[in-house]
A and B are shown apart, each in its own frame.
Chain A
């Protein structure tokens, strides 16, 4: 599986600020891009996902921006709260009529929201 590159590796944001995490992919066959949130000792939890037919998707304080030509997508967390402190992973996969393939994950971003 081809790589998904995620940055930054770690991020510190003040409470109420905007957290921005970026990902880039190589495989043009990828057409489903989810973001996961993981707390220590827990499994990843699906936050939000996007397909390449739209450039932006918003759910509550979480927004995905997608740039198909640049093969990049990003997660924006608005009004960041201490409870958002976690590790965030971007991922990508290909979807066909029979379902999606295995996910290719980025290496993760350790986000700390300072009160």
Chain B
């Protein structure tokens, strides 16, 4: 019965380095979302997975951002050559069904990324 988990909880990196952020959704949830939460900017949609497929990558800010999901479970968001403007809290959410879009999205605690 654990909720969505994310790791690491905090990540400090130097400009230009690559980072990987991990999301473990609730078991059995087929839909998975990544958002970015910046100060004063609300939540910005990044990418949506249905199973292992990502039908919508339109929210990814640049080609430095990529994400994958394996086994219909764990997802990894990778940011290459990080920039200071990438600093934000990255949130993951999962939802139980791919067809019933009324279902609630359950959010993880987020990963706070700081790029120096």
On whether the two chains bind one another, the answer is: no
Give me the interface of A with B, judged by CB distance under 8 Å.
none
Q: B residues within 8 Å of A by Cβ?
A: none
